[in-house]
Amino acid sequence: MAQASKACAVKGRVLMSLRIWGVVCLAATLSGCLKVNTSQAPMATTWESSDQQRMQAAHHWDVLARNEARNIMANQRLRGRPLYVFSPQPATPFARGFHSLLESQLVQQGALVSTQPEGSVLISPAVQVVRHSDRGFIRRPPGTLTMLAAGVAWAFQPLNHWSEPALALIPGAAAFDAFSGNMTEVGNTEVIITTRASEFDTLLYSSSNIYYVNAGDSNHYEAQNGLRVSSQW
């Protein structure tokens, strides 16, 4: 009797599994036939992880100027041509600095840099500041939470087992010294810097680069328009 009951129970579970799989298959078939895989708007997906540098020093402007000068000199249509670096108005701190740095880098790399626009290829940098006000959730770099949890676990070990818990600070300080140069935040302010070369209304070269910048440094890249209102007379 016991074996018969056990066999009946197994048979019942098998039949139940078959019924469940039958319902799943039927639902999948109906969804394909009736086109129920629809939505009133596209579903949001995330992007593949990528890197973007933060620009927060005049040296970074010089690095950009050096890269642009190399690319310009590598362009067959610009090599050996006189170049005039246009200075946009009104001149921002970045515009003035990048103008001088780009001229210097071009000269160092053997370019013919003219002081007059007539008969020269016009090099014109342009900057656009982008501010995000509602970006939603942005994940931390992979491994951040794991390292945080490991650090917390490590911090509790000395309290329970070491006679000198303060010694646990040494590995953490060493790790911070080693990797603190790689630490930065995803900000809400970005700049798009485009360097173009044109002649006779024809674009011969164009290069765009995107960087994060500190929110307080945005005035380096855009002109401040309008009058300031003050309560003092």
Alpha helices by DSSP H, listed for the chain, are 2-34, 58-74, 93-108, 144-161, 169-179
Query: pLDDT averaged over the chain?
Result: 77
Encode pLDDT of 156-177 as tens digits.
Answer: 565 556 565 555 555 655 555 5
| DSSP label of 56 | -
The residue-averaged pLDDT of 204-219 equals: 93
Q: Is the pLDDT confidence value at 77 over 60?
A: yes
Question: Are 112 and 80 spatial neighbours (Cβ–Cβ below 8 Å)?
Answer: yes
The top-scoring range by mean pLDDT among 45-49, 112-116, 184-188, 227-231 is 112-116
Return the CA Rg of the chain: 31
Q: Is the pLDDT confidence value at 50 over 70?
A: yes
Domain enclosing residue 88, as ranges: 58-134+192-220
How do beta strands 82-85 and 112-113 pair?
Answer: parallel
- Residues in contact with 154: Cβ distance below 8 Å, sequence separation at least 6, in sequence order: 168, 171, 172
Residue 25: inside a domain: no
CA pair distance 143, 231, nearest whole angstrom: 51
Residue 52: inside a domain: no
Encode pLDDT of 118-158 as tens digits.
Answer: 999 999 999 999 998 877 666 666 665 666 666 666 555 65
Positions of E strands within 12-115: 82-85, 112-113
Structure tokens at 192: 């798009």
CA pair distance 181, 56, nearest whole angstrom: 14
Residue 199: inside a domain: yes
| DSSP label of 221 | T
Q: What is the pLDDT of residue 220?
A: 92
191: nearest Cα among 146, 143, 126? 126
Q: What is the pLDDT of residue 113?
A: 94
Residue 10: inside a domain: no
Alpha helices by DSSP H, listed for 109-183, are 144-161, 169-179
Q: How many domains does the chain have?
A: 1
Residue 209: inside a domain: yes
Question: Are 121 and 83 spatial neighbours (Cβ–Cβ below 8 Å)?
Answer: yes
Of the pLDDT bands very low, low, confident and very high (cuts 50, 70, 90), residue 44 is confident
CA pair distance 73, 123, nearest whole angstrom: 12
Residue 204: inside a domain: yes
| Neighbouring C-beta atoms of residue 211, cutoff 10 Å | 18
Residue 34: inside a domain: no
Alpha helices by DSSP H, listed for 92-168, are 93-108, 144-161
Residue 28: inside a domain: no
